[in-house]
Structure 1
Amino acid sequence: MLDANVKAQLKGYLVNITQPIELVASLDDGAKSREMLGLLEDIVSLTDKATLIRKDDDKRKPSFMIRRAGTDIGVRFAGLPMGHEFTSLVLALLQVGGHPSKAAQDLIEQVKNLDGDYAFETYFSLSCQNCPDVVQALNLMAVLNPRISHTAIDGALFQEEVDARKVMAVPTIFLNGDVFGQGRMELEQIVAKLDSGAVARAAEKIAQKEAFDVLVIGGGPAGAASAIYAARKGIRTGIVAERFGGQVMDTMGIENFISVSHTEGPKLVAQLEQHVKDYDVDIMNLQRAEKLIPAATEGGLHEVVLASGASLKARSVILSTGARWRQMNVPGEDEYRNKGVAYCPHCDGPLFKGKDVAVIGGGNSGVEAAIDLAGIVAHVTLIEYDSQLRADAVLQRKLASLPNVRVITSALTTEVLGDGGKVIGLTYKDRNSDTSHVIDLQGIFVQIGLVPNTEFLTEAVALSPRGEIEVDHRGGTSVPGVFAAGDATTTPFKQIIIAMGEGSKAALSAFDYLIRLAPADAAPQEAQATAQAA
C-alpha cells in the first residue's frame, strides 16, 4: 500500500509510540477494504507497538479504530486516511500511542475538564485542505478525554450516508447526531463552542495586555510578514487574526511563489506561523477585529475593539485583513450555502460525484474549478457574465477539450433554486436576448473573485469605492500611524508574494514612524542604531 519512501518516513515517526496500540479493522470484500488491510499491515510491520485485529463489526466498512491497548481510548477512520488526511493518521497513531501533543497546556487541560458525553463524526474529503485541522483537533480531544469519541468519515466513500444526512460541504461535523459545525475549525474554536466560559476568559486575558508598539490585524501573508519585520526591530509586536493564514488556507496549489516551485496553502501557512513564532510576537488567533478607533492626536494610542468585547491599544497599527470569496448576492444563495452552494471546488467537489453542477465565473479560478470538477462530476456548466471567458488561453484550451463541460457567456445568474433542503437548479438571464433560463443541477460553485474584509473600517480610514484601504507608496493610510498591506488595500495584483512584500514595507514604515515620534533616550536600542547608521 505504502511505497518505500513513505514507509521509511513513517517508521521514523512510529518510534515515538510509547504505549501499545491496536488497529481494529472492520472490513468487507470490497477493493477499498483490501487497500485498507494493506495499509494497516504496512503500519504494523513498521513498529512492534502495534497489533492488527479483525472484528468486522462496525456499521461502516471499511473502517478501523486506533485504540490504546487495554483501554477505550482511541479514534476511528471510516475510509482510507490518505491524501491530506495522511498526517491525521500519523498524529492519531502517535497520540493514541502516548506521544504528547504540542497543543498549549492550558488548552489540553480545558479539553480534559470538559464535562459531558460528546460523540463526534466528521465528514471529510481527501482533497480538502481544511479538513485535517478539524479531524486532528477532534482526534486529540478523543485521546485526552474518555468521554469524547470521534469518527472521521470519507464522504466520497460513503455517498449514500452523505446523501441521507444531507452533507454537501466538508468538513461537516456532527455532535451526538446533530450538525455541530461546517468548515475549517481549530481546536480552540471547537473547545470554545463546548465551554461557554472560554470566550469570556480569553477576552479578559486580552484586555489586560499592555499597549503594543505595532499591532498587526490579520494573519495572512501580509500580516505574517509585517509581524516578523516588526519583531526583528526589537519592538513590542502583536498580531490579531480571525484565522491565521487567511485565504491562503483555501488555496490548493501554489506554483508562483518565487524559489519554491510548488507548495500548498496549508503547508505554507504552517511555515508562516512557525516563522512568526520564532520571534517575540504575541499571537492572538481566533479573534475578529470589529472596530478601529484612531488615536485622538498624532503619537497617541490607537484602539482596536474585538468581537469578544476586549480591546487592544497600540502606538501603530498595520491593517492586513485580506479578502474573502465574493458572493453572487442573489435569492437562494445564503439559504443554500453548504447545501449545494459552495466556494471551494477542491474541498467539496468529491461530494458531487456523478452529479450535475455549475461554476459561476470565467476567470482563472472559475475555469480551473470547472476543469477539476469535470473529472469528478457528471456534467459542468460554466456561466460567465462577460461575452467571453477571461481565463488564460492555456486553461481555456484545456476546458474546451473536455466533453462534459458546457460554457455559457453573457449570462447573469439571477436565483439559486432549491427544494427546501438542497440545491436543485439555478436561473440565469441571457444578457443578449434578455430571456430567462433554468438549469437543473445539484451543485453551484461560486468563483467570481474576492471582496476586501474592510467593513469595520468605514469610519476609521479612507476606503476606495471598491472598499479597499487606500495606501500610499509606503503603505500609509489616511490616518497617521495606521498602515495597511495585502489584498485589502488598493495595491494592484493580489498575489501572495506581493502581499508579503507590502507587509514587510508596512512594518518598516511603522518602525520609521515610531522612531521619529520617540525621543532618542526612549527609543529601542536598534532604533537608535538604525538612526545613527542613517
Structure 2
Amino acid sequence: MLDANLKKQLDAYLQNIVSPIEISVSLSDHSDQTAKTTELRELATEISQLSTRINLKEVPALRSPSMSIAPVGQAPRVSFAGIPMGHEFTSLVLALLQAGGHPSKVSAELQQQIRNLKGEFHFETYISLSCQNCPDVVQALNLMATLNPNITHVMIDGALFQEEVERRHIMAVPAVYLNGEHFSQGRMSLEEIVTKIDTGAAERQAANLDENDPYDVLVVGGGPAGAAAAIYAARKGIRTGLLAERFGGQVIDTVGIENFISVPYTEGPKLAASLELHVKEYGVDIITAQRAAGIQQRASDAAQPYLLEVPLANGATLKSRAIILATGARWRELNVPGEVEYRNKGVAYCPHCDGPFFKGKRVAVVGGGNSGIEAAIDLAGLVEHVTVLEFADTLRADEILQRKARSMPNIEIISSAQTTDVVGDGQKVSGMHYIDRKSGETQHLAVAGVFVQIGLVPNTEFLQGSAIELTRFGEVIIDAKGATSLPGVFAAGDATTVPHKQIIIAMGAGATAALSAFDHLIRS
C-alpha cells in the first residue's frame, strides 16, 4: 500500500507520538467495495506496524470502509470514511499525531477558543481525493474534534459513498454538514469555521483589533503580491501588518505551477504554505479571516502623525502610515440565468476539485483561454465528453494546449458561442443554452456540469467611492512605483493595472510596492 519512501517519511513523523492511540477500522463486506476494503486494511496495518504506540482493531461503523483515530480509552471523534490518500494523506498523518499528543502549531488563543465552544457539533465533510481545497477544511475540523470532546468529524470520500452524495445532491467539494444540516461549501479556514459557530466571536475580534497600534505599513491581501510586500516591508525594520480573508489568495486554488522560475513544478497549496512560513519569519502581524470594507484618510493632529484607516467588515478599524493593496482577483462569473441557482449543483469553477463528481457524464467548459483548455484536458480523462464554448472566433489558449485538446477524441470545441443560461430540474444541472454568434441561432447542450473558466475580476469592490482611482474594469491604477492616486497608498498584483496576471509578476510588484512605501515613509 505504502511505498518504501513514504513508509520511511511516515515512520519519522510517527516518532512524535507521545501517548498511545488506537485505529478502529470498519471493513465493508459488500462485493463492490472489496478492493477498497483491502486497501484500507493494508493501510491501517502498515501504519500500526510502524509504531508500538498504535493499536489496531476492527469495529462496526455507520460507513464502511472507514477508519477512526483516538487516544486509547477514548471514543473516536475523528474518522475517515474511505481511504485517506491523495491530498488527504496529510490529514491522516496530522490526525495520528494530534491524537497521540503532538501539539498543533495553531495559536494557543484559538485552541482555547475551540475548547470553550459550548454545544454538540457533529461535522461531516464530503471530499474528493483530487481536491486541493478539501484538506484545509478536513484538517481544521479534525483539530477541533481533537481539542473539544463535544465535537466530532468524519471525512467522507464522495466517490465511495455515491448514494449519500446523490441523496444530498452534492456536486462540489468540500461540502460540510453540521448536525445533519448543510453548513458550508468550499474552502474555509479554521478561524472562519470557529467564528461561524462561536456566537459573539466577531464582536470580540473587532474589539481586539480596534486596540491594535498603528502600523507603519499595512498590507491588505495575502496572496503572492501581499506576501512579498510584507516580507520586503518587514525587512526594513518597520511595524508591518498583513490583513487577508485567507492567506495564499487565489494561488491556493491553483493545482500545477510550472512557470515559477527556478522551480520546475509545484502546487498552489504548497507554495501558499511556503509563503506564509516565510512571512512569519519576519514577525509580521498576520490578521486572517477578516475583510476590508474601505479605505480612508484620517486628519493628523499634534499628538499623532498622519494616518490612513482601513475599516473592516466586522466593524473594527486598522490604522497605518502607509498601505499596500494586494487583494488579487477571483474567477469571473458568467452572470447568466441559472448560474447562481445551480452553483455547486452542476455549475463549478474548479475542475480538479469537482471533476470526479461528473465521471462518465457530459460536461461543458465555458472559456477558451489557457485555464479553459487545461480544464477540458483534465476533465476529458474523467468524463464521457467535454464541449468547450469560446465567445470569440478563435481560442486564446497557447497553441500547445490547443493541439493537445484537439487530439483528444472526447473534446469538442465550439467558437463564436455566447452562453445565455444554465438549466436544470431544480436540484441539478441538466443543460445550457448558447447563441451561435455567426448564425444567430440558439443551441441547447445536454450536460450535467458547466465549468466556468472565463478569466478574472479584481477584488476591489470595497474601494468603490474611495479616493483610489480605478479603471472601468475595477483595477487599481498604479504608476511604475506601485503608487495609487491616494498618497501613502500603493498597490500590487492582479488587482492592479499590471498587464500580465502571473504569480512571479505579482511577487515582483509586491516588492516594488513595499520599497516604494518605505521610501514614502522616510520622506514624509
Global fold match (TM > 0.5)? yes
Tell me, yes or no, if structure 1 residue 341 matches structure 2 residue 344: no
Which shifted more, 332-341 or 66-75?
Answer: 66-75
Other-structure match for 1:362: 368
Other-structure match for 1:526: none
State the Cα distance separating 1:318 from its structure 2 match. Answer: 0.5
Q: Which secondary structure state, in structure 1, belongs to the residue aligned with residue 156 of structure 2?
A: strand
Tell me, yes or no, if structure 1 residue 70 matches structure 2 residue 76: no
Other-structure match for 1:390: 396
State the Cα distance separating 1:73 from its structure 2 match. Answer: 4.0
Other-structure match for 1:523: none
Tell me, yes or no, if structure 1 residue 85 matches structure 2 residue 91: no
Following the alignment from structure 1 to structure 2, what is the Cα–Cα distance between the partners of residues 373 and 59?
32
Q: Which secondary structure state, in structure 2, belongs to the residue aligned with residue 64 of structure 1?
A: strand
Q: Give the 5 Å matches for 1:157-306.
A: 157-295=160-298, 300-306=306-312
What do residues 443-485 of structure 1 show as CA deviations (whole Å, max 9, x unaligned)?
1100000000111112221111221111100001111111000
Following the alignment from structure 1 to structure 2, what is the Cα–Cα distance between the partners of residues 382 and 504?
38
Other-structure match for 1:520: none
Following the alignment from structure 1 to structure 2, what is the Cα–Cα distance between the partners of residues 280 and 136?
25
Q: Which secondary structure state, in structure 1, belongs to the residue aligned with residue 257 of structure 2?
A: coil
1:301/1:136 CA distance change after superposition, 3 Å = same
Contact 1:317 1:481 in 2 (8 A): yes
Contact 1:240 1:287 in 2 (8 A): yes
Q: Which secondary structure state, in structure 2, belongs to the residue aligned with residue 291 of structure 1?
A: coil
Other-structure match for 2:18: 18
Following the alignment from structure 2 to structure 1, what is the Cα–Cα distance between the partners of residues 259 and 20?
44
What do residues 14-51 of structure 1 show as CA deviations (whole Å, max 9, x unaligned)?
01112212211111251011111111111011111112
TM-score, structure 1 as length reference:
0.95
1:32 aligned residue (14, 32, 36): 36
State the Cα distance separating 1:294 from its structure 2 match. Answer: 3.1
Following the alignment from structure 1 to structure 2, what is the Cα–Cα distance between the partners of residues 243 and 51?
37
Tell me, yes or no, if structure 1 residue 378 matches structure 2 residue 384: yes
- What 5-or-longer segments of structure 1 have no aligned partner? 518-534
What do residues 203-251 of structure 1 show as CA deviations (whole Å, max 9, x unaligned)?
1110011111111110100001111110111111111101111100100
Following the alignment from structure 2 to structure 1, what is the Cα–Cα distance between the partners of residues 138 and 445?
36
Q: Name the amino acid aligned to 2:494.
A: D
Following the alignment from structure 1 to structure 2, what is the Cα–Cα distance between the partners of residues 235 and 98?
38
Contact 1:73 1:146 in 2 (8 A): no
- What 5-or-longer segments of structure 2 have no aligned partner? none
Following the alignment from structure 2 to structure 1, what is the Cα–Cα distance between the partners of residues 257 and 410?
27
Other-structure match for 1:529: none
Tell me, yes or no, if structure 1 residue 323 matches structure 2 residue 326: no
Tell me, yes or no, if structure 1 residue 497 matches structure 2 residue 504: yes
Other-structure match for 1:528: none
2:410 aligned residue (399, 404, 407): 404
State the Cα distance separating 1:255 from its structure 2 match. Answer: 1.0
Following the alignment from structure 1 to structure 2, what is the Cα–Cα distance between the partners of residues 171 and 162?
12
Q: Give the 5 Å matches for 1:381-530.
A: 381-460=387-466, 461-517=468-524
Q: Which secondary structure state, in structure 1, belongs to the residue aligned with residue 216 of structure 2?
A: strand
State the Cα distance separating 1:493 from its structure 2 match. Answer: 0.8
TM-score, structure 2 as length reference:
0.97
Following the alignment from structure 1 to structure 2, what is the Cα–Cα distance between the partners of residues 54 and 510?
61
Following the alignment from structure 1 to structure 2, what is the Cα–Cα distance between the partners of residues 500 and 207?
30
State the Cα distance separating 1:69 from its structure 2 match. Answer: 1.2
Contact 2:77 2:151 in 1 (8 A): no
Which shifted more, 44-53 or 508-517?
Answer: 44-53
Contact 2:189 2:246 in 1 (8 A): no
Contact 2:134 2:174 in 1 (8 A): yes
Following the alignment from structure 2 to structure 1, what is the Cα–Cα distance between the partners of residues 283 and 17?
32
Other-structure match for 2:2: 2
Q: Give the percent of matched residue pairs that are identical in Structure 1 and Structure 2.
A: 63
2:47 aligned residue (43, 65, 70): 43
Other-structure match for 1:531: none
Following the alignment from structure 2 to structure 1, what is the Cα–Cα distance between the partners of residues 387 and 513?
42
Contact 2:68 2:76 in 1 (8 A): no
What do residues 152-205 of structure 1 show as CA deviations (whole Å, max 9, x unaligned)?
011122222211111111000001111000111111111111111111111111
Following the alignment from structure 1 to structure 2, what is the Cα–Cα distance between the partners of residues 350 and 118?
29
Contact 2:233 2:514 in 1 (8 A): yes
Q: Which secondary structure state, in structure 2, belongs to the residue aligned with residue 290 of structure 1?
A: coil
Following the alignment from structure 2 to structure 1, what is the Cα–Cα distance between the partners of residues 410 and 167?
27
Following the alignment from structure 1 to structure 2, what is the Cα–Cα distance between the partners of residues 379 and 334?
24
